[in-house]
Chains A and B, each alone.
Chain A
Amino acid sequence: MQPALAITDLTVAYHDKPVLWDVDLEVPASTLMAIVGPNGAGKTTLIKAALGLVRPAAGQTLFYGRPYREQRRLVGYVPQRGSVDWDFPTSVLDVVMMGRYGSLGWFRRPGKAERQHALAALEKVRMADFATRQISQLSGGQQQRVFLARALVQDAQIYFMDEPFQGVDAVTERAIIDLLRDLRANGKTVIVVHHDLQTVPEYFDQVCLINVRRIASGPVAEVFTEANLRATYGGRIAFLGHAEDDEATPSRTEGMLKGVAD
């Protein structure tokens, strides 16, 4: 079967400082893939290059066998939560409807159909009650779910999510997991930048380990080995105990990172 995403020989440099070297990556359709690597490994850059947001020095990205330009409608993007100003004067529903702007045509205003769509997506991420809220009143987890809903209304086949689990509460983490599984059941492919090594086997089918170069990628069972992790994190990795707290869990992610010198 044709892979949902095929990246070949991708090299990206910011001002001649190479950030990704000759990366190959194939993601089979209808799978959940984690992208794992230390800070500054180039995970965000990988996503941005695939989406055409940064220009690669070499290599190409194909979505279902075709370049991004032709397949734009098939791709949804959930950027890092911290990349926007949450004090922006707009409501939750408005942000979610932005997901439709690409397919709306140049001068059409979002109407009733878009509202319905957005409300349904908010329902899916358990945020329907917040539709009319100003976005600055949301907690970190709620912000994350708004971004997810915005990507959902794009009705894409392939989703890229940049650290959706970063600093979110347990409710949000659960909601995201359910959403990911739901998406997979509907034949979608989701590529997630993930920091919590503990949960990789539980949440994902596939994993890609990168640190400037791709260290390994494939099914979690085959690839997620200690040797590969060592290669990715420079051999200084320690598995920390899995904290079972129901409160906000940034401590857990941070805890993992502590063992991970980059």
Chain B
Amino acid sequence: MELFADYTLRMVALGSAMLGIVSGVLGCFAVLRRQALLGDAMSHAALPGIVVAFLLTGQRDPLILMLGAAGSAWLAALLLMSVTRTTRVKEDSSLALILAVFFGTGLVLLSWLQQRPDAAQAGLRSFLFGQAAAMVARDVQVMVALGVPTLVLVALFWKQFKVLTFDPEYAASLGLPVRGLSVLLTSLIIVAIVLGLQTVGVVLMSAMLVAPAAAARQWTDRLGVMIVLAGLFGASAGVVGALISATARGLATGPTIVLCLGVLTLVSFLFAPNRGLIWRYTRQAVPQV
């Protein structure tokens, strides 16, 4: 508990917990809608938006940077959709292409920024792999201010999101505005992504969406339980990883959190009852009567 006495560490823990819950919850929808790689592309694509937002406003306020990030992530998603819809270039190619091109552009902008006198103050480079230790109260405030409404919206549109994810065509036949709901859900996933900029960074943010959901799925067959579990997993891995990285020297936060998630997921794959590999293996070994 001594750990939490430290102000910085308290901020780090709070912010990472918020991020973990939001990305765990939204990650469930991303994974079930088979959009894990879209998450990857969108989080890489956030980078140029961050730099542009800084260049335009000259401010390092988290809300402004997040808005920029969300803007370019959306742009990437739209481009992706129009490429796959109108041409014969398949989804996998457009994903890889947009990911690499947006991210490359982001790096170009970053290196351009570095020539400017205010570059050091911006410290935008830490958005690549995340740096939880740099988190201040203002960051956490913004994260809570974005994260809580996101969770509320998921709760409000629970049944719509559920049927949309399971069977979008049937949802449309029920008269639900499927397109609007999809846009909303994608926007919420983008919110989850931009919440992770400071802590996890753009390079590894997709794991923050995928891993908690993948782990949680193994323990339950109910969407509601899965989402709660994913939120818990995301929060605990986030807090543990962020604290390790904030206290140890030279450990970027993103990789540390992803490693914690990796362990959690591996344990789930192996030991979860019913679906887990060890469970399956022992059931096979015992002859059925």
Residues of A within 8 A of B (CB): 48, 51-53, 72, 75, 77, 79, 83-85, 88-91, 94-95, 98-99, 101-102, 104, 106-107, 109-110, 134, 136, 150, 154
Contacts and interface: CB of A to CB of B under 8 A. Distances in A.
A91 B160 contact: no
B176 A102 contact: yes
A98 B163 contact: yes
B172 A95 contact: no
B248 interface: no
Interface in B39-95: none
B220 interface: yes
Contacts of A53: 169, 172-173
A101 B158 CA distance: 11
Nearest to A78: B170
Given A88-B32, A110-B159, 18 more contacts: A51-B173, A53-B172, A72-B175, A77-B173, A79-B170, A84-B167, A89-B222, A90-B221, A90-B223, A94-B222, A98-B159, A98-B163, A101-B163, A101-B171, A104-B159, A106-B160, A107-B156, A154-B174
B268 to A, nearest CB: 14
Contacts of A79: 167, 169-170, 173
Contacts of B174: 72, 98-99, 101-102, 154
A160 B165 CA distance: 22
Contacts of B162: 90, 98
- Which 3 A-B pairs rank lowest in CB-CB distance, beginning with the nearest? A102-B174, A134-B221, A77-B173
Q: Determine the main DSSP class of A at the interface with B.
A: loop
A116 to B, nearest CB: 18
A14 to B, nearest CB: 12
B112 interface: no
Interface string B213-226: 00001001111001
A98 B166 contact: yes
Contacts of A52: 172
A101 B176 contact: yes
A72 B172 CA distance: 11
Given A84-B167, A101-B159, A104-B159, A91 B173 contact: no
A106 B170 CA distance: 16
A101 B175 CA distance: 9
Contacts of A75: 173
Contacts of A134: 221
Contacts of B222: 89-91, 94
A89 B176 contact: no
Contact of B169 (A83, A91, A94): A83
Contacts of A107: 156
Contacts of B32: 85, 88-89
10 contacts: A88-B32, A88-B223, A89-B221, A90-B222, A98-B163, A98-B174, A99-B174, A101-B159, A102-B174, A134-B221
A90 B159 contact: no
A182 B222 CA distance: 33
Nearest to A102: B174
B173 A88 contact: no
A90 B163 CA distance: 11
Interface string B150-191: 000000101110110111011111111000000000000000
Contact of A101 (B160, B165, B169, B217): B160
Nearest to B221: A134
Nearest to A108: B159
A180 B284 CA distance: 41
A75 B170 CA distance: 12
Contacts of B217: 89
A102 B221 contact: no
B189 to A, nearest CB: 18
